Amino acid sequence: MGYGLLAGAIAAEVLATTSMKYSEGFSKLWPSLVTGIGYVVAFALLAQALKTLQVGTAYAVWAGAGTAAVAAIGILFLGETLSLAKIAGIVLIIAGVVVLNLGGAH
């Protein structure tokens, strides 16, 4: 159950961050609302996930997966450039999350 809530928190955070790009500095109503609501939902779900998951692991997975997903969305859909540094960063984030989970931190 904890990891399901964490997945929902990650999805909400990614949606909120992506919407922030479209809000143009919070000057557009709907993307701004999606951003605000998305972050509230993300933190609410993360708080519920922390009832059963260790905070260090949950936060690392939440932040890491969200960062990697937003970077991928930027590259795939928002025209951001793909560089060796971005690829290496995403791979290191994913590797860190895997190590945390395999290392018995949960």
- Using one digit for the tens of pLDDT, what is the confidence trace for 57-78? 899 899 999 999 999 999 999 9
Query: How many CB atoms sit inside 10 A of residue 104's CB?
Result: 7
User: Which domain does 98 fall in, by range?
Assistant: 2-102
Question: The whole model's pTM is what?
Answer: 0.89
The total domain count for the chain is 1
Tokens coding 29: 């109503």
One-letter amino acid at 24 equals E
Residue 28 DSSP code = S
In which band, very low, low, confident or very high, does the pLDDT at 2 lie, cut at 50, 70 and 90? very high
pLDDT given for residue 106 in this prediction: 47
